[in-house]
Amino acid sequence: MFPERYKVQIKNIVSRKIVKELLVKEARESDCEFNDPEHWCSEEELPEETRCKVEGLKAMARWLLGLKQDTASAQKTFRMLNAFILHKGDLLQSGRLSKAEMSWLRLAAGCAMLKVCEQKGVGDQYTAEQFYNLSQLMVDEVKQVREIFATKLHKGLSKGLPNKCLPLDFMGYYALSGRETENRLRTTIRNYMVADINRRRDYVKSLTMGAGQADKAMSQLPHILPDYMLVFAVPVLAHDPHLSKWDDVQELTKAKQCLWFILEPLVTKSDYFSYGFYKSLIEKMKNHKDAVRPDDDSINYLVIQPIVSAGGCLLDGVVVVPINLHLLWVYYQIENIRDKVQVKHAFLQCILHPQPDFVNTRVFLPPELQYQPNKKTSITLSMLNNDRQKKPKPKKPEGCGPLGTDVQTDFIGGIDAQPSEASDTKIQLPGLEEDLDEPPAKRLRDKTKD
C-alpha cells in the first residue's frame, strides 16, 4: 500500500467500504444463528461477518501506520475504536451479537489501538479518556482477552527503542494486573513487565555510557526510564471502575497491591533503585490533580490515594543492596535537575500554588492504610541497664550450728536435718540426779596478772 501516492483512493475505500459497509453496518439475522453462550471461541468458529469485521479493524490500523502524520484521520479512528471498547464489542448495541463475538471485536479494537500508538504522529492523537478505556482490557471478564491483550502490549513495548515502540505511558497498564486472580496468567504478565523494565534499563545504561551523549541521554530519560511508569499507573488506577470510593479500605487495599505489583521489581533487590528519585517524584505528583475532571474532588481524592499508598509501599519494600555507581550518577543527575522529574500533564494537571516550593502534606488515607514503621525488637544499652537493676542479687547463705559458722546447704533427695543443740544430746547416767546443774563455764580474765 502507498497511502501518500493513492491517499484519496485508499481513504475512500476505508471510509466507505470498511467503516460504513462493514463495521457500522447493523448485523443481520442469518438462518444459522450463532448463539453460543460461552464468552470465547476460536476464530474459526466465528461467523464470517464477524471475522470480516476483525480483519477490517486490522486493516484500519495498518492504513493509519502508513499515513504517519494524518492527525484528523487518526482522531476519527480512535473515536470509533474507543466506541467498540466502551460498548463491550457491540458498537451499535443491537444485542444480536453473541458473547464470543463481542469479546473478539473489543479485543481486535484494542489491539488496533496499540498498533497505531506505536507510530509517532498518528499514535499521539488518543485522549486521556480513551487511554483509560483501553486499559480496561487488562481486567476484562474474559481470560483470553486479558491474555492476548497483555501479549500484544508486551510485544509493542519490547520493539525498537526509543521511537519504534509503544510509549512509556502504556507501562502503567501493568498495574491493573495486580488484580489478576489466575496465578499462571499473573506470573506471565509479571515476566512481561520485568523483561520490559530490564530492556529499557539496558538501553539507558548504553545511552549514558556513550561518549558525548550525556545531554542527549538526560533529555530522553523521562520518556524511557521505566521508573516513570509510576506516573502513569496512578491515574490508571484512579480511573479504574473497581476503585469507586476514596475512603473504602478494602478497595484501597487492592489498589495498594496493584501498586506493589509494579514497584516490587523496581525497588527491591535492585542496584538501580534511588530513594531520593522516588521521593522527589511522589512529592511532585501529590501537587497534581486529575486532568480529565480537574474540578471533581471525588476523582482527585482517588488520584491522591494511590500516590500516598506508593510512598508507603516504597518505605515497606526498600532493601539495601550493592550500589551501581554508574546508575547512581544517572539518578543523581535527574534529582539535581528538577525539571527532569516530569509528570505528564495529559493525565495529571499541576495545582497552581503561590509558593513555588509548596509540598502537599495532607493525608487522605484511612488510619488502617497509613504507613507505620515496623517495630523490631532489639537489645539496647538502656534495656540491659534496666535488666541489671531489676535482676535480684543472690542472697548470702545464712550460717547455722552452735557458733553460726556452718554453711547451710540444700540437699536434693537427702535428709533435711539440722545439728542438734547441746541440751538435746545430754547423756543421763543411772544414779545421777537429773536436776544436777553443770558447773559454770570459766570466764576469761579481762586483765592479766602482773
Convert the pLDDT of each residue in 219-232 to its tens digit.
Answer: 777 788 898 898 89
Q: Which residue has the higher pLDDT, 301 or 330?
A: 301
Tally the domains of the chain.
Answer: 2
pLDDT at 384: 46
Indicate whether 270 and 312 sit together in one domain: yes
Indicate whether 192 and 340 sit together in one domain: yes
pLDDT at 323: 37
Indicate whether 285 and 175 sit together in one domain: yes
Indicate whether 4 and 61 sit together in one domain: yes
In a domain, 236, yes or no: yes
In a domain, 423, yes or no: no
Q: Which residue has the higher pLDDT, 322 or 45?
A: 45
Q: Is it the case that residue 17 has pLDDT exceeding 70? A: yes
pLDDT at 173: 96
Indicate whether 91 and 207 sit together in one domain: no
Indicate whether 55 and 120 sit together in one domain: yes
In a domain, 154, yes or no: yes
Q: Which residue has the higher pLDDT, 235 or 183?
A: 183
Q: Give the separation between CA 179 and CA 177, rounded to whole angstroms.
A: 5
Here the cell at position 75 is 482522531
Nearest alpha-carbon partner for 167 in 213, 114, 212, 209 = 114
CB 152 within 8 A of CB 169: no
In a domain, 174, yes or no: yes
Indicate whether 241 and 323 sit together in one domain: yes
Q: Is it the case that residue 59 has pLDDT exceeding 50? A: yes
Indicate whether 164 and 104 sit together in one domain: no
Indicate whether 77 and 184 sit together in one domain: no
pLDDT at 74: 92
**Domain ends where: 64, 94, 126?**
126
In a domain, 399, yes or no: no
Q: Give the separation between CA 332 and CA 318, rounded to whole angstroms.
A: 18
In a domain, 295, yes or no: yes
Tell me the mean pLDDT in the region 305-329. 49
pLDDT at 1: 52
CB 92 within 8 A of CB 26: yes
Domain boundaries, position 326: 140-374
In a domain, 407, yes or no: no
Here the cell at position 1 is 500500500
* The model's pTM: 0.73
**Domain ends where: 374, 395, 412?**
374
Q: Lowest mean pLDDT: which of 46-55, 148-157, 291-300, 308-317?
A: 308-317
**Domain ends where: 60, 94, 126?**
126
Highest mean pLDDT: which range of 12-16, 147-151, 426-430: 147-151
Q: If you average pLDDT over every residue of the chain, what do you get? A: 75
Indicate whether 182 and 330 sit together in one domain: yes
Indicate whether 343 and 194 sit together in one domain: yes
In a domain, 384, yes or no: no
pLDDT at 353: 45
Question: How large is the greatest C-alpha to C-alpha distance in the chain, in angstroms?
Answer: 154
pLDDT at 85: 96
Indicate whether 249 and 348 sit together in one domain: yes
